[in-house]
């Protein structure tokens, strides 16, 4: 049986995600300083073990809300966008300054990075962000990463830092992502409703049942809940990354997770076959631009490792350009894969159902003969793997 302590001991690079509800004091709107001091003590020990550390931290909106005049008990979903973005602009200073000062006490250096989904969904920008983070890690500097809430809106948002933590983990090819939360892991039912609900210590294969028992976010501070953590676990494990959920509220929680086998946590074990960096980036897209629906023959051809040809495409949904990432759906409208489109929507409409040899005559130029080249697509072994993209 996989063991959390063994996985963390053997890991070279670990991403730690910190939730707003444990970093901030909801009553005062300030950093929970005692907790942060304890957390940095744990981080120092992990660094001294020779590991590379990335911290993805929520808290900017929570720390800036009082200055902006937002009520402490107001849920994030109820805060007007302009106030939330203003709070993030104020709070991001408090957030990074707290980490910077505390890490500096232990002779550790920190760097601030703000990301948006649009930056990580663009291959070139993804590579640039990856190079920046890996350069910092190679020089022993700890990146403190948050979503750029001052400019992220609507469909270009990650929405919560659980997904951002996994995206960063994929960028740097981390071995594990640890979500420090207000819950100690996954139960078979909501433990607040059913105190007798059995705890789930290890998940080797994520099923629909795991998704169905996920709950909502903590009122007042959090934007994510157990559902977002399950979705993050799907993205992490299929990219070859272990994901761990544990209660991080108490001081020393991270140290206990590293060394104490009795420290409660849920471990989602990584799939064994890690994809290459480009395919990991493709399959982890959170905002595909559209979908193509394929016939049974095309689905079988894809299963054999072939490219998707226009003759196998039955219909299209959405507006996308050449180079955008789109979903591949079968005749039953199940998402079976994801890939990079070789044609924009208007041209693809002209060639679906046609032979590849007909493309130059139809479009008036000789270009690609595949709708999605086999090197630019990833197939899902199970439709459940597409849950993070369920809105599309």
| Cα–Cα distance for residue pair 163/235, rounded to 1 Å | 8
Tell the residue number behind the tokens 């304890």, with chain if given: 38
221 and 313 fall within a common domain: no
Among candidate residues 279, 296, 328, the one where a domain is terminated: 279
Write down which residue in 261, 279, 297 finishes a domain.
Answer: 279
Residue 70 above 60 pLDDT? yes
Query: What was the pLDDT predicted at 269?
Result: 95
53 and 199 fall within a common domain: yes
Percent of the chain with pLDDT over 70: 92
Same domain, 62 and 171: yes
| The model's pTM | 0.80
Phi and psi of 118, rounded to 5°?
Answer: -60, -30
Residues 227 and 102 in one domain: yes
- The residue range of the domain holding 153 is 4-279
Looking at residue 141, its pLDDT comes to: 97
Count of the separate structural domains present in the chain: 2
Q: Could you give the percent of the chain with pLDDT greater than 90?
A: 57
Residues in the chain: 392
52 and 180 belong to one structural domain:
yes
Domain at 321, CATH number: 2.30.130.10
Let me know whether 84 and 225 are in one domain: yes
The answer on 259 and 377 residing in a single domain is: no
pLDDT, residue 278, reads 77
Instruction: Indicate if the pLDDT at residue 245 is higher than 80.
Output: yes
pLDDT confidence of residue 222: 44
From the CA atom positions of the chain, what is the Rg in Å? 22
User: 220 and 161 in one domain?
Assistant: yes
Q: What is residue 391's predicted lDDT score, i.e. its pLDDT?
A: 42
Q: Which of 239, 260, 279 is the last residue of a domain?
A: 279
d(CA 294, CA 370): 13
- Supply the CATH number for residue 112's domain: 3.40.1160.10
Residues 221 and 352 in one domain: no
Write the burial class of residue 209 (CB in 10 Å: 0-12 exposed, 13-18 middle, 19+ buried): exposed
Going by pLDDT thresholds of 50, 70 and 90, the confidence category of residue 355 is: very high
Same domain, 9 and 158: yes
pLDDT at residue 158 greater than cutoff 70: no
Q: Looking at residues 201-219, what average pLDDT do you find?
A: 75
- The whole-number pLDDT of residue 101 equals 96
Mean pLDDT calculated for residue range 16-22:
93
Q: Please provide the average confidence, as pLDDT, over all residues in the chain.
A: 87
359, 383 Cβ separation under 8 angstroms: no
Same domain? 378 vs 270: no
Give yes or no: residues 351 and 202 share one domain.
Answer: no
User: 34-54, pLDDT tens digit by residue?
Assistant: 999 999 999 999 999 999 999
Range 131-136 contact pairs with CB under 8 angstroms and sequence separation of 24 or more: 133/54, 133/168, 133/171, 133/172, 134/172, 136/111
Lowest mean pLDDT across 178-187, 329-338, 379-388: 379-388
Segment 187-196 shows an average pLDDT of 86
């Amino acid at each position: 049986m996989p063991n959390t302590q063994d996985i963390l001991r053997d890991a070279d690079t670990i991403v730690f995600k910190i939730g707003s509800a444990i970093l901030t004091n909801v009553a005062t709107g300030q950093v929970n300083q005692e907790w942060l001091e304890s957390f940095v003590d744990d981080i120092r020990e992990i660094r001294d073990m020779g590991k590379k550390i990335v911290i993805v931290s929520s808290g900017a909106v929570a720390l800036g809300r009082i200055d902006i005049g937002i009520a402490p008990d107001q849920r994030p979903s109820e805060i007007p966008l302009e106030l939330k973005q203003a709070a993030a602009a104020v709070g991001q200073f408090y957030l990074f300054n707290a980490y910077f000062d505390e890490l500096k006490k232990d002779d550790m250096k920190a760097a601030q990075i703000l990301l948006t989904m649009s930056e990580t969904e663009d291959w070139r920008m993804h590579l640039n962000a990856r190079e920046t983070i890996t350069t910092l890690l190679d020089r022993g500097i700890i990146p403190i990463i948050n979503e750029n809430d001052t400019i992220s809106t609507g469909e270009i948002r990650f929405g919560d830092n659980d997904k951002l933590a996994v995206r960063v983990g994929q960028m740097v090819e981390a071995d594990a992502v640890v979500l420090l939360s207000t819950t100690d892991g996954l139960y078979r039912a909501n433990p607040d409703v059913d105190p007798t609900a059995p705890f789930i210590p290890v998940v080797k294969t994520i099923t629909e049942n795991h998704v169905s028992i996920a709950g909502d976010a903590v009122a007042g501070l959090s934007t994510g809940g157990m559902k977002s953590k399950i979705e993050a676990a799907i993205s992490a494990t299929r990219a070859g990354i272990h994901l761990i959920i544990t209660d991080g509220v108490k001081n020393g929680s991270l140290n206990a997770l590293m060394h104490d086998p009795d420290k409660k946590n849920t471990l989602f074990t990584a799939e064994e076959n890690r994809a290459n960096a480009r395919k990991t980036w493709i399959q982890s897209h959170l905002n595909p631009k559209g979908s193509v629906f394929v016939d049974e023959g095309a689905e079988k051809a894809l299963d054999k490792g072939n490219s998707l040809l226009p003759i196998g495409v039955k219909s299209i949904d959405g507006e996308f350009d050449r180079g955008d990432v789109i979903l591949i759906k079968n005749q039953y409208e199940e998402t079976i894969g994801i890939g990079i489109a070789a044609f924009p929507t208007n041209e693809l409409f002209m060639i679906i159902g046609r032979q590849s040899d007909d493309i130059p005559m139809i479009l008036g130029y000789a270009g690609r003969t595949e709708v999605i080249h086999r090197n630019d697509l990833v197939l899902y072994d199970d439709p459940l793997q597409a849950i993070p993209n369920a809105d599309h």
